[in-house]
Structure 1
Amino acid sequence: MFLKRLTEACGASGNEKEVRDIIIHEISPFVDSVRIDGIGNVIAYKSGKTPAAGRVMVTAHMDEVGLMIKEIDSAGLLKFLTVGGIDKRVLVSKTVVVGKDKIKGVIGSKPIHLQKRNEWTKVLDINELYIDIGASSREEAEKIVSIGDYAVFDTQYEEFGDDRIKAKALDNRVGCAILVELLKSSIDTEIHGVFTVMEEVGLVGAGPAAYTVEPDVAIILEGTICYEMPDLDTYDIPTVMGNGPAISLVDRATIYDAAFRKWIVEVAEKNNIKYQYRKTSMGGNDSGSIHTSKTGCITTAISVPTRYIHSPLSVISKFDYDNTLALVKAVISDLEKEAL
């Protein structure tokens, strides 16, 4: 599955080249043009037999949360900063790869045997953690890593259970994979497919991309928060795995166009595609920059529910993935018939 290659690639915010190269190689035979803009976004154009009702832009961000090396101490241990929103509680003892040579490392801390009792109940701060790459001195470590190098979780893609995929960076390589499949398909509608950079650190790439494309309609493909555990009331559950793609209502950056959302729901029901609403206003995505760029545009976000997001390992349902792709294809195909 192409998603395996994408999730196992390294691409923390600001360092998306490996992911970008994989995507360009995959889509180039299927699009009319593809280019990289000044900030690193990939902007592809696929012509259609008939133009859609306005200029259509479909986006997914390439970057993942990660770490950046800020110091190498005298023992050869690496101190780091977080890049994007990472829960400190998930870091201890996780394996990572560091730098362009993908040096293996383990995130370490003081062992529990040496901690004071009051430390047992506290979450370890980032400054109390380090990456151990097996070096015994600063000089030895500096031969293979440098200040400013990125580190990402070292997690392999795996399918498990009846319908599940576990991997790192499903936010948002799952959206990238769906957009790649869309561009490779035989849809007749003209679209601009955009793979953005640095979403996780403030929706950085999306604004310049939208300014260039000047869309009338934008569809943002995402992996979104999913937490449907037994201790929650139903109204607290943002999305449910296995209930299909999640259509956003509102988030911290966007109040989504109600008429467009209603029309998308009609398309889903007409095509017997299971769907759900994203029932939380927490978080945000590239729509926050896209819908306010230049003269503005209508946007929607269609997402794959993703458990354990922004952690070393996330989980999605293949059913949700397939139905998200099906819904996006149906929406794109009908846009040529509808004046939105």
Structure 2
Amino acid sequence: MSIVNLPDGRTLTLAGDQAWPKPANPPASRIAYAAAHVVADPRAENAPGAPAVLDWETTLAFRHHLWSHGFGVAEAMDTAQRGMGLDYAATRELIRRSAASAAAAGGRIVAGVATDQLPPGPATLDQVRAAYAEQLADVLTAGAAPVLMCSRHMAATAQHADDYLSIYRDLLEQSDKPVVLHWLGTAFDPALEGYWGSSDVDKATETVLELINANPAKVDGIKISLLDADHEIRLRRRLPAGVRLYTGDDFNYPELIRGDDQGYSDALLGIFAAIAPAAAAALAALDRGELDEYDRIFAPTVPLSRHIFKAPTFYYKTGIVFLAWLAGHQKHFTMVGGLQSGRSVPHFAKLIELADAAGLLPDPSLAAHRANRFFEVVAG
């Protein structure tokens, strides 16, 4: 049976997925990365503050699932709980294993470079510079392309825009591959207030553009996760030729990727890991020029994404993992750092309804069985 007994007393009969076909090739008209979550070892001490222990087989299998749908994998990003349970020892091993798997599978991979090997609290600019450089070397040695992530230490230490420019220029010089810059907004991490040297987004944008315009050959693109579609479009139109805008806007991705007569955004999105079969079908329709079909497929995924990424947005990882469990990609709903407690019972109930409406539960009987057991335990 595929009936879910929701905690508010209603019942929901799951329709299941729409048998989305796997594409023969990656999308041709856009570059699309899915930022992947990690699967915890449920028998390990994955409590808050404890070192992360991963189920490596299931974690890597999920990456193969994404490659099989034509997506690149954005590894060790905030979706993988950087700064929210995934320590740097586990991160380094994750990047090494995923990059090796990508090489074997012929899959595209980028990986996050940050400063989270430093202890929480104050750091000097020299310490921030050295921590970034260490992680950059780790990513390049693994064979992945670097994503220069925003750093809490950098935000707390830098005094003005020139501090950002100095450190980022050093990193660009050290990289033998073009990098993806990363601008994560405070909805995703409040500790990043004032990144790029100003809380004024327009002033911060000028700093970003100064960095890119001085080093266009070193920058593959910039990922923007500010949840501000108008700002993203304005920035996109000012980028030098050859530098991509990777949308990280999990609220407005269909129109940003679709674009307009002045350009479009490529994608590096956490929601793409959760909706990979549907997103692959939508991008295939875009390749064929079937814009109505593109819009039709993506339309029901947007309410799901906005629900998963609702405030407090930084807990979106909990919904991503819950959906992966319902969809059969892992056998349990346990997260590193105990983050499975990050959302409420009503939030999970609504997530099931929206995921089913978007055709993202491939085995409705399994999803209903797991959901009913979950609600019996947590809601009585």
Q: Same fold (TM over 0.5)?
A: no
TM-score w.r.t. length of structure 1: 0.26
Point out the structure with the larger helix share.
2
